[in-house]
Structure 1
Amino acid sequence: MPKVLVSDKLSPTAVQIFKDNGVEVDYLPDLGKDKEKLLEVIGQYDGLAIRSATKVTEKVLAAATNLKVIGRAGIGVDNVDIPAATKKGIIVMNTPFGNSITTAEHAISMMLSLARQIPEADASTRAGKWEKNRFMGVEVTSKVLGIVGCGNIGAIVADRAQGLRMKVIAFDPFLTPERALEIGVEKVELDDLLARADFITLHTPLTEQTRNVISAEAIAKAKKGVRIINCARGGLIDEAALGEALKSGQVAGAALDVFLEEPASANLLFDLPNVIATPHLGASTSEAQENVALQVAEQISAYLMSGEITNALNFPSISAEEAPRLTPFIKLAEVLGSFAGQMTETSIQTIKIEFEGNVAAMNTKPMVAAALHGVLKPLLEEVNMVSAPQVAKDRGVGVEVVTREQQGAYENYIRLTIGTERQERAIAGTVFASGKPRVIQVKNINMEAELTPSMLYVTNEDKPGHIGRLGTLLGTLGINIANFNLGRAEVGSDAIALVSIDGTLNEKQLAEITALPGVKQAKALKF
């Protein structure tokens, strides 16, 4: 039974979800704040469920000898060392959609509060003033709302704004025309959005491309008197430039839930009367907090119990429906990679992975990761399925993936080709009805072999007597043959033997096999 640690506060319902799914769970909600105690116990657990209090550092991960998955109840994972987790093969998940509605509603609330100056009017009224004429607002009906970043949250904001009879335009490089039509927004470029929008709301991640997307230059291009809302990430707005624009009247008002530095105990914008500020409340509703807790419990349980991967930040997602179908092909891809990796003795320059037939229509990303893991594992002991794609990229290995319809006799076919500075070597395989992976081609020579834990690979000249000599020598060496698989290019040309053996071969024994007449190469393989 897998065991999970909950080291931050999660709802009792989330804890029960683990139990209902057959996962043992320790609920220690204050443990995340105790770094030393966490280091002491983390090695016992297969899964870790956290919020923001637990800091999963490289040191913690080093002590987490059994950890397979970390689940963050929420979207931000700044408290998890994802590169270190990836290096150790630990899946890192978050729950990006559990607080989508809550965040979208907060953005709409901020927009309406900004339009009608509600916070300042409230403070004035409580102070005993009755400044009815001072707080002249604007309607949102028929106004243009510009959304920067129209993903899940942006789409919900668009829907709510349309209910307020606003015209919605959106800038998002990843928004397709079909999706824009579906959600009823007009897709525009950023300059067009700036020129037309009466209100601008930000719903994009903070990346190098989006940092200061609302810059001094962008503000200068905006419609005079625009109102800006940010419930996404601090750093999307140049705060100094916004301050100057608020003072000049270029920007009529700003409503901000996030800031460049948080907690924002002081900020140059706080003294301006046309600014509404809240302390990062986007996800702060009881419903949202419950939703993300339940989601993270479901996700961790699904991964530990069935291999389903959802909302992983360092590995392709695998749905519950895909997992049973993908598992044998992931295994096939890994053993093909391992075969090729063990046969490769010089620097790898390229890896080409071809999927043909029904398997080409499946989710190939996990299979690619498995193949790369298999290739790199013999060369780099610490690599794993999670880290393999990044390791290959870091080392400058070109990875090409090809998918196509069935062309040969096999309904499912995976072919892996390794390119080195000296040559290319290809190996292909399939999965039979039994679910076991089979090799069906090595170096363009057709053969069929089940890959077993210990094997002998031999290339030789196709001449009479070779099989007898090889079998006799293995008997003399005390090596029992479990299975003998053969293939050849053509009569008298190159031939291959893949021999399943009991036990292992040492270097001296391999040297004796290599010395047999006609043998070009002999290599021990482990799977």
Structure 2
Amino acid sequence: MAPRVLISDKISPASVKIFTDRGVEVDYQPDLGKDRDALAAIIGQYDGLAIRSATKVTSKVLAQAGNLKVIGRAGIGVDNVDIPAATQRGVIVMNTPFGNSITTAEHAIALLLALSREIPAADQSTQAGKWEKTRFLGVEITGKTLGLIGCGNIGSIVSDRALGLRMKVIAFDPFLSHERAQDLGVEKVELDDLLGRADFITLHTPLTEKTKNIVSATALNKTKKGVRIINCARGGLVDEAALRVALDSGHVAGAAFDVFSTEPATENPLFGHPHVICTPHLGASTMEAQENVALQIAEQMSDYLTRGAITNAVNFPSITAEEAPKLRPFITLAEKLGSFAGQLTETGITSVRITCQGEVAHMNTRALTSAAIAGLLRPMLADINVVSAPSVAKERGIVIEETTSEADSDYDALVTLTVITEKLERTVSGTVFGDGKPRIVEIKGIKVDAEFAPSMIYVANEDKPGFVGSFASLLGEAGVNIATFALGRLSQGGDAIALVQIDGTVSDAVMDKVRKLPQVRMAKPLAF
């Protein structure tokens, strides 16, 4: 029986031919995705679901998707898909990470130019029969400083176009190396430096916990008077209410937004301001981009449904069916080791080294490396997947070194991840025991034995009496229950670590108290 795919968003009809030519039945209902109940009612009939941004694939929808094997997002952002729920149900989630990069970058440049010369307002005035030549006094962009918040695939294209317009480009991106910045012709800076120097600021970063409201009221107060702000990335990166206040005061000269914290945006604090340009999420809306992502997702989904090939999966690496059973637990291990290191890393990464020893050295180590890099970068780059991770790292000038070794160790198989930043080197090792559960066995040369858990606390401390008691008491007083407590140390009285599994989450206030304990050097909440 031929696999069936539902297309529930407005995707180029050319994708239908790709599916049918490859033996996949297609049901093209481009308006269905707007009605979640209607989608949930019929989704159980299909093996695949092809979407854009209008369809929201919630846990409720997935609960009715008994036959669903793959979700294909024609575009990069997958924030409209409940990925944990899809993963739990064994549904592969694919995207097309590079299909609309040029189109989005060009839209950002278009808004920058329109904003600098007040083109929308001037057009409206002129067509109304007015001739207000002296009213619309714009600014030149030549010689001005453009600040990029995020300099990945799209940001680097914007920088290239801006340099062609004779702008000076500075960039804030924790994953951008100085070497890569030099190749691009941009200056790598810290966020506060960018805010204080930029005449124009444009955002090109995904929406994560770390980047939400990255342009906050506090950040806006650090900007130059007369700055102009462009956002074609994700709604929620800018505090829109705070920006409205800054626009009203005249501190911010103008803003151009293609994305909003709530979409469709029928109302927003920015609407109605005379120095604001708004477009309805048009970043990827060109004929070329629509065609590219539609054809690409149709090919990827067809290959998976008919041949089992996995490409550009957000929640699973590209591996063959034969490799999967033995490799899968080590892929999970590698991704969690990467996530562990990524959650602790706050400075620019220059290189990453993955070492596989013992039995795992004979496996598909490329998949392990991709999984480790994806886990490492995901805390800052939410849309990254295990397929695109190496190329994204390369874009940022991160050197990846992969080695295998037959050397004896205490374990039949050992994966070690070393992350080198501009300030330090961090090493973490793990293995998979007979129960199939990945675990950490060494951190910074200190032996430890801890399983990964959804919510954990990592502490680096001095090995002095009283730490365990003080730490446990502090959590107890805050109502935080300890599930497991793993300890390790280099030597008596020397460097020590603790990995603590807790029930639920821990508040920022409690973490601040933990960091103030006299023996603690660093403390960080972790989520896996």
Question: Alignment partner of 2:294: what SS?
Answer: helix
- Equivalent residue runs for 1:422-437 within 5 Å: none
Shift of residue 124 of structure 1?
1.7
Change in Cα spacing, 1:367 to 1:306, as seen in structure 2 (3 Å) is farther
SS at match of 1:364: helix
Report the equivalent of 1:418. Answer: 433
1:362 maps to 2:366:
yes
Q: Does 2:332 correspond to 1:332?
A: no
Corresponding residue of 1:435 = none
Q: How does 1:93-132 map to 2 (within 5 A)?
A: 93-132=94-133
* Deviation by residue 1:128-172 (Cα, 9 ceiling, x = unmatched): 222212212111111111000111111111111111111111101
- Between the aligned partners of 1:112 and 1:357, the Cα distance in structure 2 is 53
Contact 1:330 1:366 in 2 (8 A): no
Mapped partners of 1:230, 1:58: distance in 2: 29
Deviation at 1:266, TM superposition (A): 2.5
Describe the SS at the equivalent of 1:259.
Answer: coil
- The residue aligned with 1:204 is 205
**Matched residues in 2 for 1:313 and 1:360: separation?**
18
Q: CA RMSD in A?
A: 3.2
Q: Is 1:85 matched up with 2:86?
A: yes
Question: Quick one: structure 1 residues 178 and 268, their matched pair in 2 at CA, closer, same or farther if it must change by over 3 Å?
Answer: same
- 8 Å contact from structure 1 (residues 149, 202) kept in 2: yes
Distance 1:126 1:335 in 2: 64
SS at match of 1:115: helix
Residue 276 of structure 2 corresponds to which residue in structure 1?
A: 275
CA distance in 2, matches of 1:144, 1:312: 37
Contact 1:101 1:153 in 2 (8 A): yes
Contact 2:74 2:95 in 1 (8 A): yes
How far apart in 1 are the matches of 2:330 and 2:246? 60
Q: Is the 8 A contact 1:334 1:367 kept in 2?
A: no
Q: Deviations over 1:41-86 (max 9, x none)?
A: 4334322112344443333323322221111222343443322211
Q: Distance in 2 between matches of 1:417 and 1:269?
A: 52
Question: Which runs of 5 or more structure 2 residues have no equivalent in the other structure?
Answer: 332-355, 373-384, 386-400, 415-430, 440-528
| 2:394 maps to 1:405 | no
Q: Would you say the 8 A contact 1:356–1:403 is kept in 2?
A: no
Aligned residue for 1:282, secondary structure, equals coil
Q: Could you tell me whether the CA contact under 8 Å between 1:104 and 1:154 is conserved in 2?
A: yes
Percent of residue pairs identical: 65
d(CA) in 1 for partners of 2:232, 2:329: 47
Give the conservation status (yes or no) of the 8 Å contact 1:232–1:258: yes
- Matched with 1:246 is 247
Q: How does 1:456-475 map to 2 (within 5 A)?
A: none
Q: Which runs of 5+ in 1 are unaligned?
A: 338-351, 369-385, 387-401, 425-527
How far off is 1:289 after superposition? 1.7
CA contact (8 A) 2:96 2:296 kept: yes
Displacement, 1:249? 2.3
After TM superposition, list the pairs within 5 Å mapping 1:30-49 onto structure 2. 30-32=31-33, 38-39=39-40, 41-49=42-50
SS, match of residue 5 in structure 1: strand
Instruction: Give the secondary-structure state (helix, strand or coil) at the position aligned to 2:96.
Output: coil
**Runs of 4 or more off by more than 6 Å in structure 1?**
365-368
Higher gyration radius (CA): 1
Give the CA deviation at 1:34.
5.8
Task: Show the 5 A alignment for 1:469-508.
Answer: none
Give 1:405's aligned amino acid: T
Q: Is the Cα–Cα contact under 8 Å of residues 413 and 432 in structure 2 kept in the other structure?
A: no
The SS at the match of 2:155 is: helix
Rounded to whole Å, the distance in 2 between the matches of 1:184 and 1:414 is: 43
2:225 corresponds in structure 1 to 224
User: Which residue is 1:379 aligned to?
Assistant: none
Secondary structure of the structure 1 residue equivalent to 2:116: helix
Q: 1:305 to 1:132 in 2, by over 3 A?
A: same
Write out aligned runs for 1:12-91 (5 A): 12-32=13-33, 38-39=39-40, 41-91=42-92
Query: Counterpart in 2 of 1:286?
Result: 287
Specify the alignment match of 2:302 in structure 1. 301
- For 1:359, the aligned partner's letter is M
Alignment coverage as a number of residue pairs: 366
Q: What's the secondary structure of 2:139's corresponding residue?
A: coil
Say if 1:137 and 1:40 are closer, same or farther in 2 by CA, change over 3 A: closer
- Classify 1:50/1:261 alpha carbon distance in 2 versus 1 (closer, same or farther; 3 Å): closer
Distance 1:143 1:418, change over 3 A: same
Partner of 2:160: 159
Q: What amino acid is the match of 1:179?
A: R
Cα distance in 2 for residues equivalent to 1:196 and 1:37: 50
Q: In the alignment, is the contact (CA less than 8 A) between 1:33 and 1:54 conserved in 2?
A: yes
1:143–1:166 CA contact under 8 A, matched in 2: yes
One-letter amino acid matched to 1:247:
D
Question: Structure 1 pair 85/14, CA: closer, same or farther in 2 (3 Å)?
Answer: same
Instruction: Specify the code of the residue in structure 2 equivalent to 1:308.
Output: A
Residue equivalent to 1:444: none
User: In the alignment, what sits opposite 2:260?
Assistant: 259
Question: Structure 1 residues 73 and 360, CA, compared in 2 at 3 Å: closer, same or farther?
Answer: closer
Distance change >3 Å, CA 27–CA 278, structure 1 → 2? closer
